[in-house]
Amino acid sequence: MVYLIQFQVVLLSFAASSKIYTTTLRYIRQAYFSFLETLDQVFSTRNVAQFIKGLVIALIIWTLAKLILIVIRFSVKRWMLRGDSAAGEGHRSQRIRTIGTVILNLSKYGIIILAVLLTLKGFDVNLTAILAGAGVAGLILGFGAQTLVRDVIAGFFLLFEGDIAVGDEISVNGQVGVVEYIGVRVTKVRQFNGELRIVPNGELSNFGNLNRGYMKAVIQVSLAYEQDPEKAMTLVSKLAGEFYTEQADLMLDEPVVQGITQFGQSGIDIRILFKTKPGLQYQMERDFRLILKKQFDTAGIDIPFQRQVVYLKNTAGN
């Protein structure tokens, strides 16, 4: 009886194994025929012809893109060289080189993107979904990178309007420095102490350019209250006229002695103005202050120093 039960178990196991084996073979055969059918579809005459057509179109597109980029690069560089020759090495020359570099980069990326889209179209790829996805991605990036977009747009306006140029001295956010680099996104400004400040172009919405048109050297000199102001102003006017004659090639107009501008704690203030070429105002101020100090010492005119008057009160009544 025991052997009979064991024999039945063996038969059942064999039957189950045969069923599994048969099922496995059936699935393998179905997968094989599906693979052959897929290959048949992929390498059908129509698909092969479409693939060859796509390759030919891609070759033509990328050849034309390369030729267009060569023509653009040649034209822009020729324009930059002609602009450099006409402008020399000044601010306009630097602006032309910067704008030329931006045009080259934009044309390069634009033509590459267009060539990729046309190549996909040549392979009969549906571009509607791709363009829709790119539009959604661009919208998301636009919301997430608003500051970057603002900086880039401001950079384009700075480059094309020419409000500042490399070498200009500007005042921005209460700091004064010399512009060393103007890019599409940032501007680099070197301060007097050597610190290089990286300023996003979006923050350059309100700045002062100290190298446009003319500047004024403003000299404020103080006189002690005991001095005769008319005598001092006569001497200052004489010295200002002589200084203007000596520096006539650096001045744009005759000096102006405005007279007394303020009564201070220790003396009275006199202001003198020189209209100079851009970038020379600080040197003019330093030079004329030195002249004033020497001539005041010779003429015996005192420059005030801070004084404090102390009153002593006798509380004892003596």
DSSP string, 52-73: HHHHHHHHHHHHHHHHHHHHHH
Write down the pLDDT at residue 32: 66
- Low-confidence residues of the chain: pLDDT under 50: 2-4, 7, 9-11
Q: In which element (H, E) is residue 218 found?
A: strand 215-224
**Based on the number of CB atoms within 10 Å of its own CB, is 104 exposed (0-12), middle (13-18) or buried (19 or more)?**
middle
Write down the pLDDT at residue 269: 87
Threshold 0.75, pTM exceeds: no
Write down the pLDDT at residue 64: 92
| Strand order through the sheet with 196-200 | 196-200, 186-191, 175-182, 169-172, 207-209
Q: Is 209 helix (H, G, I), strand (E, B) or coil?
A: strand
Topology annotation, domain 215-299:
Alpha-Beta Plaits (3.30.70)
Q: Are 261 and 269 in contact (CB under 8 A)?
A: yes
- The span from the CA of 287 to the CA of 284, in Å, is 5
Write down the pLDDT at residue 185: 81
Residue 202 per-residue DSSP state:
G
Q: Does domain 155-209 sit in CATH 2.130.10.10? A: no
